[in-house]
């Protein structure tokens, strides 16, 4: 079942990313690009989980999963939220996002992977997701996990503020989905052996997608205004 939920998360994330990229192409809104990159990486990481569970974990599969999912999904979501709320400082936010990506890739490439821990995860029906701290030890690639994941607060706060300001209460689904996704990323460090981890991957992206769809609908305030005008 772990692979099934990981495949579902991959599909939803890639569809979501495609819609965000199309939105960026049509309107050139930088936050849509940042979110599209984040969800695209989310999909790649979930695909790595499915591949690792079904065929066994290798350093390459784990490394891509770690960079794309555990480290970069949340910082890029936070960058998108900041770009949406304060587009005048877009250069600063893109610079920080670029540095986060560079650090994630560089330190993961430099990390000494514990191949035995990857092998112990196994494959097939009894497979598990390897723990970050067992595979990476105390390497910087592992220590980046905590500060990067704390950035989910930016997305949650921004989503709640937008929901209250516009009365688009469906935006609260984004806040909930990001919280669930951040919890999944944290589990990648300390509790990813549980079968609950892929469930969180699928639930988190599904909730965010639901919030995105809700955000595209007219708000209750706008509906009332248009009705009164008519």
Q: Does residue 127 sit within a domain?
A: yes
**Cα within 13 Å of Cα(72), Cβ side:** 32
Instruction: With cut-offs at 50, 70 and 90, classify the pLDDT of residue 223.
Output: very low
- Greater pLDDT, 129 or 40: 40
Q: Quick one: pLDDT at residue 191? A: 58
Contacting residues for 222 by C-beta, under 8 A, at least 6 apart: none
Q: What burial letters (b/e) apply to 105-122, b meaning 16+ CB within 10 Å? A: bebbeebebbeebbeebe
CATH number assigned to the domain comprising residue 71: 1.20.1070
| pLDDT over 90 percentage in the chain | 63
Q: Note down the domain range covering 24.
A: 2-215
Write the DSSP symbol of residue 131: P
What are φ and ψ of residue 137, in 5° steps?
Answer: 65, -135
- Greater pLDDT, 195 or 209: 209
Mean pLDDT value of segment 75-90: 94
Q: Does residue 225 sit within a domain?
A: no
Q: Quick one: pLDDT at residue 224? A: 42
Q: Does residue 67 sit within a domain?
A: yes
**pLDDT of 127 over the 60 cut:** yes
d(CA 182, CA 38): 13
Mean pLDDT value of segment 149-156: 91
pLDDT 10s digits, 27-40: 999 999 999 999 99
Task: Tell me what the pLDDT averaged over the chain comes to.
Answer: 87
Instruction: Find, among 206, 92, 70, the residue nearest to 142 by Cα.
Output: 70
Q: Does residue 229 sit within a domain?
A: no
Q: Does residue 22 sit within a domain?
A: yes
How many structural domains comprise the chain? 1
Q: Does residue 106 sit within a domain?
A: yes
Q: Does residue 123 sit within a domain?
A: yes
Q: Does residue 222 sit within a domain?
A: no
Mean pLDDT value of segment 7-13: 95
Q: Quick one: pLDDT at residue 142? A: 95
Q: What is the pTM of this model?
A: 0.87
Three-state SS annotation for 207-223: HHHHHHHHHCCCCHHHH
CB 171 within 8 A of CB 211: yes
């Amino acid at each position: 079942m772990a692979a099934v939920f990981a495949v579902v998360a991959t599909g939803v994330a890639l569809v979501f990313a495609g819609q965000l990229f199309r939105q960026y192409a049509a309107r050139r809104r930088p936050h849509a690009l940042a979110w599209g990159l984040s969800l695209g990486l989310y999909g790649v990481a979930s695909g790595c989980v499915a591949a690792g569970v079904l065929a066994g974990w290798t350093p390459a599969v784990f490394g891509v999963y770690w960079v794309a999912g555990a480290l970069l999904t949340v910082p890029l979501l936070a960058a998108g939220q900041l770009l949406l709320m304060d587009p005048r400082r877009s250069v600063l936010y893109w610079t920080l996002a670029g540095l986060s990506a560079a650090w994630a890739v560089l330190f993961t490439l430099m990390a000494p992977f514990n191949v035995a821990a990857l092998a112990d995860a196994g494959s097939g029906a009894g497979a598990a997701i390897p723990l970050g701290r067992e595979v990476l030890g105390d390497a910087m690639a592992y220590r980046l996990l905590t500060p990067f994941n704390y950035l989910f607060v930016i997305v949650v706060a921004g989503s709640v503020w937008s929901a209250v300001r516009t009365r688009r209460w469906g935006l609260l689904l984004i806040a909930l989905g990001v919280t669930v996704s951040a919890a999944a990323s944290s589990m990648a460090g300390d509790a990813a052996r549980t079968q609950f981890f892929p469930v969180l991957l699928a639930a988190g992206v599904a909730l965010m997608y639901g919030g995105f769809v809700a955000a595209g609908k007219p708000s209750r305030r706008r509906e009332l205004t248009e009705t009164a005008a008519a």
